[in-house]
């Protein structure tokens, strides 16, 4: 069965508005957690289809520890994902990284940014897979849509603390709601009340 890119975005976004919906998405193979925004304008860098923000302050043993904010940037394609998709989402990651670094309330907070490429297939006939193989911040997600709805097969996960400093970048202007959510999330100890954030 065929599905449009907008329908794909609508289904993921609508399901991701509740804890139960996100759990159902994860059960179907889609990596998502936290507050989810859609069509996030990143100034001259473009517009991210979906973006999620989550916060955690618990160590493995359950004690309170350092604050961690995790941001996932999702780029959805009706067809194949490949090198051009990777370049596109890397622009978004650059914008989000610079924006996060500019928020005073996030000083001293670990901010990790992942990118998630979602498509009906993965490009295999170019250098794309070699580029992907060297990345620790990247998920590749193939979707299928059948009689039982959406299903996902997801590859790869990891952490990325690398950031190139002192580079020239366009001025970043993001929505007020995104800024507010980032500031409020940076103050939380865990993900409780995540879904009480207002959306604009």
Of the pLDDT bands very low, low, confident and very high (cuts 50, 70, 90), residue 175 is: low
User: Which has more pLDDT, 72 or 134?
Assistant: 72
Residue 133 pLDDT > 90: no
pLDDT, one tens digit per residue, over 57-109 is 655 555 566 677 889 999 999 888 888 888 889 899 999 998 888 888 888 78
pLDDT at 51: 93
Residue 46 pLDDT > 50: yes
Mean pLDDT of 118-138: 79
pTM over 0.85: no
Lowest-pLDDT choice from 84-88, 134-138, 187-191: 187-191
**CB contact at 8 A, 16 and 22:** yes
Of 104, 96, 111, residue with least CA distance to 43: 96
> Does an H or E element contain 72, and which?
strand 64-76
pLDDT at 129: 72
pLDDT at 176: 60
pLDDT at 38: 92
In the block, tokens 């069965």 appear at 1
Mean pLDDT of 41-62: 79
Q: Tell me the average pLDDT of the chain.
A: 76
User: Which has more pLDDT, 44 or 56?
Assistant: 44
Q: Round to whole Å and give the CA distance between 11 and 32.
A: 13
Q: Round to whole Å and give the CA distance between 200 and 40.
A: 11
Of the pLDDT bands very low, low, confident and very high (cuts 50, 70, 90), residue 50 is: very high
């Amino acid at each position: 069965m065929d599905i449009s890119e907008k329908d794909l975005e609508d289904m993921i976004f609508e399901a991701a508005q509740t804890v139960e919906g996100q759990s159902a998405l994860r059960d179907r193979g889609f990596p998502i957690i936290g507050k989810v925004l859609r069509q996030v304008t990143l100034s001259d860098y473009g517009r991210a289809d979906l973006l999620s923000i989550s916060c955690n302050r618990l160590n493995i043993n359950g004690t309170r520890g350092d604050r961690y904010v995790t941001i996932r940037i999702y780029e959805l394609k009706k067809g194949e994902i490949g090198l051009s998709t990777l370049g596109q989402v890397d622009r978004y990651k650059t914008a989000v990284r610079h924006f996060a670094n500019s928020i005073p309330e996030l000083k001293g907070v670990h901010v990790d940014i992942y990118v998630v490429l979602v498509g009906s297939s993965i490009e295999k006939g170019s250098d794309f897979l070699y580029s992907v193989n060297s990345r620790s911040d990247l998920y590749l997600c193939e979707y299928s849509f059948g009689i039982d709805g959406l299903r996902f097969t997801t590859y790869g996960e990891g952490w990325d603390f690398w950031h190139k400093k002192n580079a020239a970048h366009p001025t970043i202007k993001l929505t007020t709601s995104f800024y507010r959510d980032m500031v409020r999330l940076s103050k939380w100890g865990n993900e409780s009340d995540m879904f009480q954030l207002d959306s604009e």
